[in-house]
């Protein structure tokens, strides 16, 4: 099982983000941090290089690095990009989630 899969929309959005940067970028790094009323939230940042313990997911020309502290929380997750009338952003469909807070900012496993 791949630690993370990306929808076509997520792949295209990551490609656009990386190609729009002024400096060389390997891809994006996904992590989790303590936040919100349910405990954890996802973090995304540009990655210029691979960390020594990062998990690497390469798919359709996109490189996603997973912070080693996040791997156990997101194993099997699908990353999607959704554009709606009032908002757009990455959405994570995580089979490990046991619940989410009401505002959708955080989750717990």
Residue 81 within any structural domain of the chain: yes
- Counted domains in the chain: 1
CATH number of the domain to which 94 belongs:
2.60.300.12
CA distance linking residue 77 with residue 55, whole number of Å: 14
Q: Is there a domain that residue 49 lies in?
A: yes
pLDDT of residue 39: 73
Instruction: Tell whether 107 is covered by a domain.
Output: no
> Measured between alpha carbons, how far is 92 from 90 in angstroms, rounded to an integer?
7
**What is the Cα gyration radius of the chain?**
14
- In the chain, the DSSP E strands lie at 4-6, 27-35, 39-47, 55-59, 62-66, 77-83, 88-93, 99-100, 107-108
82-107 mean pLDDT: 72
| Residue 64, domain member (yes or no) | yes
pLDDT tens readout for residues 41-81: 889 999 999 999 999 999 999 999 999 998 888 889 999 99
Query: Containing domain of residue 15, as a range?
Result: 4-102
């Amino acid at each position: 099982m791949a630690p993370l899969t990306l929808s076509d929309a997520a792949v295209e959005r990551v490609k656009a983000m990386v190609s729009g940067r002024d400096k060389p970028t390997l891809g994006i790094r996904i992590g989790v941090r303590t936040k919100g009323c349910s405990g954890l939230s996802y973090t995304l940042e540009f990655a210029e290089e691979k960390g020594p313990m990062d998990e690497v997911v390469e798919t359709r020309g996109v490189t996603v690095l997973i912070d080693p502290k996040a791997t156990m929380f997101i194993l099997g997750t699908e990353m999607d990009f959704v554009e709606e009338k009032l908002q757009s952003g990455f959405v994570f469909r995580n089979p490990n989630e046991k619940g989410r807070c009401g505002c959708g900012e955080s989750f717990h496993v």
